[in-house]
Amino acid sequence: MIVKRVSGTLLSIGVSLALVLGAWIAFIEYFSINPMVIRSPRDVWTYLFTAEEAGAHRSVVWDGLRVTLADAGAGMVAGLVAAAVVAMLFVLSRTVEQAFLPVAMIVRSVPLIAMTPVLTLVFGRELLGTTVIVGIVVFFPALVTLVFGLRSASPQAADLVRAYGGSTWTTLRKVMIPSALPSFFTAARISAPGAIIGALLAEWLATGKGIGYRMLQDVSTFESDDLWSSVVAITLASLVIYSAIGVVEAFVLARYGPAPARR
């Protein structure tokens, strides 16, 4: 099952790359867009690998991408952990859910781009501020997915644990959490691209670091080669992270997941 999942993941990466490249080339050819506005895959390849200063170009793109991935990773972990804790509280206590959910919905309804300046003033422009911004992007969709996963646990299995004297915490640990593992990884896959987008937003509006801020500079200075190389780097990073989570999911569910996931 694990080998099949890894093979399927690698195949999906190849298919996704082919579709993106095809759509990119077709878009350029169909609309006849000025090369100053959009670069082709060949232009990006030349800029990063065959140009005279390709090594320096790759170094610049990688330095910015590394900062962005660190920002996105910290925020994604924080958002997923917070969502998991709140989801368990919701499942254990309807009172907590009724008290917290309206507040969560109000916060979620405010556009993040409007909240970013306020969050920056409160938490600063360093890693903490970026983590909060990205964590908010990750938190809400992950919370909904995890609550659904915890509540989808088998009622018969939960009743069995209680019949043998198990506490609510034991039921949560032995029945609900294993049943929610597929939902957790679904939330992680959904959150990965969103975390990167949140990190880019924080870099554009707050920190002035990372590949997000460099892309903003490239737009201002018409550095199209560097801009599109950064876009390609971010897209590939999102695809690789999404696929890597799928591989980890196959290993974890094969060992700890509910029975259907182990087949």
Q: At 123, which CATH number?
A: 1.10.3720.10
Q: How far apart are alpha carbons 187 and 157 in whole angstroms?
A: 24
Q: Under a CB-based contact definition with an 8 Å cutoff, are residues 74 and 126 in contact?
A: no
pLDDT in tens, the chain (263 residues): 567 766 776 777 788 888 888 998 888 888 877 777 788 899 999 999 998 899 999 999 999 999 999 999 999 999 999 999 999 999 888 888 888 888 887 877 878 888 888 888 888 888 888 999 999 999 988 998 999 999 888 888 888 888 888 887 888 888 888 888 889 999 999 899 899 999 999 998 888 889 999 998 998 888 889 999 999 999 999 988 988 888 888 888 777 665 544 44
State the residue range of the domain holding 40: 2-262
DSSP 8-state assignment for residue 164: T
Q: Which residues contact 220 (CB under 8 A, 6 or more apart)?
A: none
Cα–Cα dist 188/182, whole Å: 10
Token pair for residue 236? Answer: 């590939």
Task: Determine the length of the chain.
Answer: 263
| Residue 212, helix vs strand vs coil | helix
Do residues 191 and 135 make contact, with C-beta atoms less than 8 angstroms apart? Answer: no
In this prediction the pTM is 0.85
Q: Which residue has the tokens 């029945």?
A: 175
Say how many domains are in the chain: 1
